[in-house]
Amino acid sequence: MNNSVITNAGSIISQKFLRANSNDLVGVQNRVSSGLRVATVTDDASTFAVAGGMRADVKSYTAIAASLQAAKVLGTVAVQAGETISKRLEDVKAKVIQLADESLSSASRATYNADLSSMVEEVNGYLEQANYFGRNLLGTGAASVNVLVVANIDASAFTMRAQGVADLAVSTISDATSAQQALASLGDLKAELETGLAYIGADLKRLDAKD
């Protein structure tokens, strides 16, 4: 058997440096492709473990921020609908007062009642449409449910409270007595609406404090 001995020391040293440079190049490529200074556990085990935990927390906080933002939109939609309804109720009230006039002709009363019916449908439509992703904090129905909002990475949550404001129910007004009954219904709805908006507003402030 023939044995050979490498006697070119310069070549050995050059190969050693070439391997080191190749390893450094691989490390740089890993950092470039991953965007991370410590891309794998072999780069720096302890730093990799800490960084992994931090990345998980960042993703969790991103998810929480999205959850809080969605809840804010849900509450804002409800508030905007409620404010629109509140203004529209003033028009409904004015129409009811017109219908309280018992000197109205049959034709005029029929016209006013048709206007009133349209207004009532509009109000109830706003209640139904105060909806975001299948949830409604203002009106009634299947979509009217409390919404749990995750507010921290420990999964702690608080509740956005559904108010269940009932639809406006006003029938045909034929005289002053039925007009008075309609005004009472309007007053009940307005009080319920204002209470509901106050609760939703309070919940939105709590969301702002979490943000």
Q: Which of 140, 148, 124, 135 is nearest to 76 (CA)?
A: 135
Q: How many residues appear in the chain?
A: 211
First to last CA, the chain: 78
Residues sharing a CB contact under 8 Å with residue 175, sequence separation 6 or more, in sequence order: 100, 102
Q: What is the 3-state secondary structure (H, E, C) of 64-133?
A: HHHHHHHHHHHHHHHHHHHHHHHHHHHHHHHHHHHHCCCCCCHHHHHHHHHHHHHHHHHHHHHHHHCCEC
Q: Tell me, what's the pLDDT at 38? A: 53
Q: Which of 170, 159, 169, 167 is nearest to 138 (CA)?
A: 167
Partners of residue 158 on adjacent β-strands: 149
Q: Tell me, what's the pLDDT at 32? A: 47
Q: Tell me, what's the pLDDT at 161? A: 94
- Furthest C-alpha separation in the chain: 130
Report the chain (211 residues): mean pLDDT per 10 consecutive residues.
Answer: 53 58 54 51 56 66 85 94 96 96 95 96 94 91 85 83 94 94 96 96 88 64
Give this prediction's pTM. Answer: 0.71
Q: Tell me, what's the pLDDT at 35? A: 46
Distance CA 90, CA 117 (A): 14
In this structure, are residues 74 and 162 in contact, taking their beta carbons and an 8 Å threshold?
A: no
